[in-house]
Amino acid sequence: SAVISQKPSRDICQRGTSLTIQCQVDSQVTMMFWYRQQPGQSLTLIATANQGSEATYESGFVIDKFPISRPNLTFSTLTVSNMSPEDSSIYLCSVDGGRGTEAFFGQGTRLTVV
Amino acid sequence: AQTVTQSQPEMSVQEAETVTLSCTYDTSESDYYLFWYKQPPSRQMILVIRQEAYKQQNATENRFSVNFQKAAKSFSLKISDSQLGDAAMYFCAYRANKLIFGTGTLLAVQP
């Protein structure tokens, strides 16, 4: 199992600013994942954060908007840049051990952009 | 592309009764895994049950069981003896190379 601490748990931000979300795992993991959950919607994968290499982004998500850092095997950050109200969502960090294993999630960051 | 569909946006069940949540998926892969996750108002995603596609036997975890029909690409979740604490959003998910979630079913449990 893995315990994931995600900070901040919520924030209200002004449009045009940026917010960095932190994800700390209590054990070393190869891959970490960042998801977005828009209000009342499902989870959509933003990117996979790989240690020692650039993140792999899903279609519709770009590095300039969602830069990701992965300095070591237990930590990652996601930045939401130049925010607009459309970025208001829950952002979740996740880890798993591969194809058939359980995914563990942080408690999410509820972001509101005004 | 793989997709996961949950056709029931909302469901309601009486406490102690049984409810079934539907899920279908589309894939050309033969080796994959299916999951049901629960998300209560706390936002914490919790694994309910997991099914390996190569296993014909339906997975069971206490009051939770699945009906896995591989040919039909169907993966429904049955909750028996429903409890108030079962009220949550339930997501069906598929994983081959990455985890793909369905749109979710909001389950209400009536006392």
At B2 the pLDDT is 83
With a cut of 90, say whether residue B1 has pLDDT above it. Answer: no
User: Which of B4, B29, B42, B43 is the best mutation test for A, with the most CBs of A within 10 A?
Assistant: B43
Identify the contact set of chain A against chain B, taking CB-CB distances under 8 A: 33, 41-45, 48, 90, 92, 94, 96, 99-100, 102-103, 105, 107-108, 110
Strands (E), chain B: 3-5, 10-14, 19-21, 24-26, 33-39, 46-52, 60-61, 64-69, 74-79, 88-95, 99-101, 105-110
**Tens digits of residue pLDDT in B22-38:** 999 999 988 899 999 99
> Among all chains, which residue has been given the structure tokens 């919790």?
B46
Helix (H) or strand (E) holding A89: strand A89-95
At A14 the pLDDT is 98
Residue B25 near residue B73 (C-beta atoms within 8 A): yes
Smallest CA-to-CA distance from B50 within A2, A1, A101, A98 is with A101
| pLDDT, mean of residues B82-103 | 94
Contacts of A100 in chain B (CB under 8 A): 33, 50, 52, 95
With a cut of 90, say whether residue A100 has pLDDT above it. Answer: no
Q: Which one has a higher pLDDT value, A2 or B62?
A: B62
At A47 the pLDDT is 97
Query: What distance in Å separates the CA atoms of residue A54 and residue A44, rounded to the nearest whole number?
Result: 19
**Tens digits of residue pLDDT in A24-82:** 999 999 889 999 999 888 999 999 998 888 899 999 999 999 999 999 999 999 999 99
With a cut of 80, say whether residue A98 has pLDDT above it. Answer: no
Contacts of B35 in chain A (CB under 8 A): 102-103
Compute the CA torsion angle B3, B8, B9, B15 (nearest 10 deg): -130
Smallest CA-to-CA distance from B66 within B26, B25, B103 is with B25
**Tens digits of residue pLDDT in B30-80:** 889 999 999 998 889 999 999 999 988 999 999 999 999 999 999 999 999
